[in-house]
Structure 1
Amino acid sequence: MYKVFYNEKALILSEKPISNLKNLAFNNEGQFEEALALLRNSSNTEVNIYHHNLNSLWENFKNHLEYLEAAGGLVQNQKKEILFIHRLDKWDLPKGKLEIGETPKIAAVREVEEECGISNLILKDLITITYHIYFQDNLKLKATYWYEMDYDGNEELIPQTEEGIGIAEWKNQSEIPQILQNTYENIKLVLEKIPLINQ
């Protein structure tokens, strides 16, 4: 199953109908537009498109939109604080698009370093991949690879203001609930994957 966010609502791609959701059986690519219109113009917060061959459905969906990849990090310091950025009036995790020839791992580290002004990150495991659709000249589907990272330095955080980042800040566990009230659905998915956050 894939969950793709569009205006903070979820388009789900799966192998079968899901109870209590608006379901569309996949027959042609016009249904992608139908599903997005439902999310845009109705009270539906989730729409499910289903097809017995999920891989085929996903490839059709990726080919229907302009597909691009990004990578970012969930960084913890020695105090178990998490590194957040504040941009466009929301809390976010540092991330950015892959450059030509870059792997997601390299891009993730580079983006955290650039957006927050720190170095010598310790790259760990892939946490998850999130997906969202946004409009910039046309509809784009962005896949973001999220990696867990550790940081044991003491550099001053320097937000990358030219990227619209106003704040780069370590947040402790008690501050996470407040962050969750003013962040993106994709970021909630990333945070949910880390056991420390769920304690």
Structure 2
Amino acid sequence: MKDKKSNTLKRVAAAGGVVVDTLDKDSDPKVLLIHRRGVWDLPKGKLEEGESIEECAIREVSEEVGLKTDPTVVSPLIETYHEYERSNTRYGKTTHWYLMKLNSNNYEFVPQKEEGIEKVEWVPLEKAKGKVGYDNLREVLEEL
């Protein structure tokens, strides 16, 4: 008997943030990267029922890097799209990205272990573009 795969694509909405240490146009910003399952990534996650896309981005960044005070959205960036398969189901995920800043210099990052996040690190923007593990994340960083 053949293993039947669904041809249906389930749509997933997600949001994330590019947190920068400075908004000064004359300096090279550092961006906040997370290390998850062996890959450098940006904090992001799926939209929960009842929340806006922007609220999702703020919540996901706060949760994944362990902030006690939510970051502030400075402006929207771009949307990215990718498809993946899990348990014989195809998903099409659109992620809405926002430029963010922290509201305080008094913070301590606590990686969200339940999500497989091992490290949280400030990385200079140009270095981050080469360090992230997915092409669509490079596109997001190019928007800065």
| TM-score in terms of structure 2 length | 0.83
In the alignment, which residue of structure 2 is the partner of 1:129? 79
Q: Compare CA radii of gyration and give the structure with the larger one.
A: 1
Give the secondary-structure state (helix, strand or coil) at the position aligned to 1:113: helix
How far apart are 1:136 and its partner, in Å? 1.2
In the alignment, which residue of structure 1 is the partner of 2:46? 97
| RMSD of aligned Cα (Å) | 1.7
Q: Percent identity?
A: 40
How far apart are 1:178 and its partner, in Å? 4.1
Q: Say if 1:82 and 1:97 are closer, same or farther in 2 by CA, change over 3 A.
A: same
Structure-2 separation of matches of 1:172 and 1:145: 22
Give the secondary-structure state (helix, strand or coil) at the position aligned to 1:191: helix
* Structure with the larger helix share: 1
Give the secondary-structure state (helix, strand or coil) at the position aligned to 2:70: coil
Give the secondary-structure state (helix, strand or coil) at the position aligned to 2:33: strand
Give runs of ≥4 in structure 1 deviating > 4 Å. none
In the alignment, which residue of structure 1 is the partner of 2:92? 141
Letter in 2 for 1:155: Y
Question: Which range is displaced more, 119-128 or 154-163?
Answer: 119-128
How far apart are 1:185 and its partner, in Å? 1.1
In the alignment, which residue of structure 2 is the partner of 1:120? 70
CA deviation profile, 1:144-189 (whole Å, cap 9, x unmatched): 0000001142211110011000011111245325414xx1011011
Asked if the contact 1:87/1:166 (under 8 Å) is kept, the reply is: yes
Letter in 2 for 1:65: L
Question: Which range is displaced more, 146-155 or 101-110?
Answer: 146-155
Asked if the contact 2:59/2:70 (under 8 Å) is kept, the reply is: no
Structure-1 separation of matches of 2:74 and 2:82: 24
The structure whose RCO (Cα within 8 Å, separation 6+) is larger is: 2
- 1:165 paired to 2:130: no
In the alignment, which residue of structure 2 is the partner of 1:68? 12
Q: Unmatched 5+ residue regions in structure 2?
A: 1-6
| TM-score in terms of structure 1 length | 0.61
Q: Say if 1:173 and 1:131 are closer, same or farther in 2 by CA, change over 3 A.
A: closer
Structure-1 separation of matches of 2:120 and 2:10: 30
Structure-2 separation of matches of 1:68 and 1:173: 28
